[in-house]
Amino acid sequence: MFVPSIHFVQRRLGLEWPQLWKTSAREIDLHPERFAPGETCWVLQTYLRCENQLRERGLRVTIGERLAPNAINIAHRDALNRWFAPYFANYIVSIRADRPKTTVCNWEIVQNGLEGTKPKTSTLALWPQPGLVGRAAGRGLAIERAAYFGRLGTTTPWLVSASFAQSMRRLGVAFSADSPNWHDYSSIDLVIAHREEAPCMLVQKPASKLINAWLAGVPALLNDEPAFRELRRSQLDYVAIDSAEDVLKAVTRLKTQPMLYQAMVENGFKRAQEFSVAAMQKKWLGVLCEQVVPDAERYFARGENRGLRLIWQVRQVMRQHIDSRRFRETYRKQMASIRNGRSDAALARIG
């Protein structure tokens, strides 16, 4: 008989978290920098935030570096690429994150709903930024500081240029793009983000920059990425931008229309309610307890032939590796096209 057991798979656990037994959900907000890596942010954070509630529902909950036998194993897609791991003998829940589809799993977690409703797939936004500190109430309607929070790898060149920062200063706004404290919005009045990213990657991305801005009470100026558009219900959700000129116009408008700024802040707080830690915890528990566990019980009750399952695994792992190679090649081609397009535009301006 299958006894519900949920096991989280976190690689390098012993090396990076040698005293895990001392770690609790409080660690997430006390040391947000430790939860920046994708696998840690998804797997270990979910374990810490949901462990007690899952046990209260009668489930056994464990975490380790390897798959646990006869259990529901929850792992990041990056941990599910091994040829000889016993996926066939377990029930696998894959967290896809910014990756192509997982084929060697029984259930998949995706971070946006752009693919629509699919069987044995659940959409769960990434947890809010660990340790998030909201904008200080005392700043009122001032628009004096703006920031970009995130890695700079694909950030659009104009956003990090000296000329853009100088144009912002002329409007009375100091702009920073290199803050190491992604969690601290206390002195920030606007969030600005724009990146040059391959379309194949954008459809995998979460709406985290928008969600965190809502939670922090800071209006956001963002390029119109698919994940942002998916959540957009009104113009108060964010200002869509596609150039430095768009940003400067939006900043000028918000500075001259303080009630519009206030309306965006209030709207953000309302929208943020469905993405708070408590809300995401409830969603995770709903997916695991109401969908995944019943499906896993049926899976183990069927007692499928392990030989056939092993053949299935070989095919699926092979397919997954092929899909990954195709994804990387598509990504390279799309990024090359974006960079060439930028160069062509620069040449056209010179001409």
pLDDT at position 343? 57
**Do the domain assignments include residue 162?**
yes
Is pLDDT above 70 for 2? no
pLDDT at position 344? 57
pLDDT digits (tens, 9 = 90+) for 243-270: 999 999 999 999 999 999 999 999 999 9
| Predicted confidence band of residue 180 (pLDDT cuts 50, 70, 90) | confident
The residue among 223, 258, 274 that closes a domain is 274
Strand pairing category for 145-147 and 190-193:
parallel
Residue 156 structural domain = 137-274
pLDDT digits (tens, 9 = 90+) for 77-133: 999 999 889 998 899 999 999 999 999 999 999 999 999 889 999 999 999 999 999
**Do the domain assignments include residue 221?**
yes
pLDDT at position 302? 87
Paired with 122 in beta bridges are 109
pLDDT at position 305? 81
Is pLDDT above 80 for 7? yes
pLDDT at position 295? 96
HSE of 192 in the Cβ direction (CA atoms, 13 Å)?
A: 30
Residues 98 and 143 in one domain: no
**Do the domain assignments include residue 349?**
no
pLDDT digits (tens, 9 = 90+) for 291-313: 999 999 999 998 878 888 888 99
- This prediction's pTM: 0.93
* Mean per-residue pLDDT, 267-287: 98
* Mean per-residue pLDDT, 177-199: 95
pLDDT digits (tens, 9 = 90+) for 17-64: 999 988 999 999 999 999 988 999 999 999 999 999 999 999 999 999
pLDDT digits (tens, 9 = 90+) for 216-243: 999 999 999 999 999 999 999 999 999 9
Residues 203 and 281 in one domain: no
* Mean per-residue pLDDT, 154-180: 95
Is pLDDT above 90 for 203? yes
Residues 260 and 145 in one domain: yes
pLDDT at position 349? 43
Residues 266 and 149 in one domain: yes
**Do the domain assignments include residue 346?**
no
Nearest to 210 by CA among 267, 287, 152, 139: 267
pLDDT at position 314? 92
Residues 28 and 115 in one domain: yes
Residues 105 and 143 in one domain: no
The residue among 233, 258, 274 that closes a domain is 274
Sign of the alpha-carbon torsion through 257, 263, 266, 271: negative
Residues 219 and 291 in one domain: no
Q: How many domains does the chain have?
A: 2
How does DSSP assign 163-193, residue by residue? HHHHHHHHTT-EEES--S-TTB-TT-SEEEE
* Mean per-residue pLDDT, 271-283: 98
pLDDT at position 68? 94
Residues 100 and 185 in one domain: no
pLDDT at position 346? 46
**Do the domain assignments include residue 103?**
yes
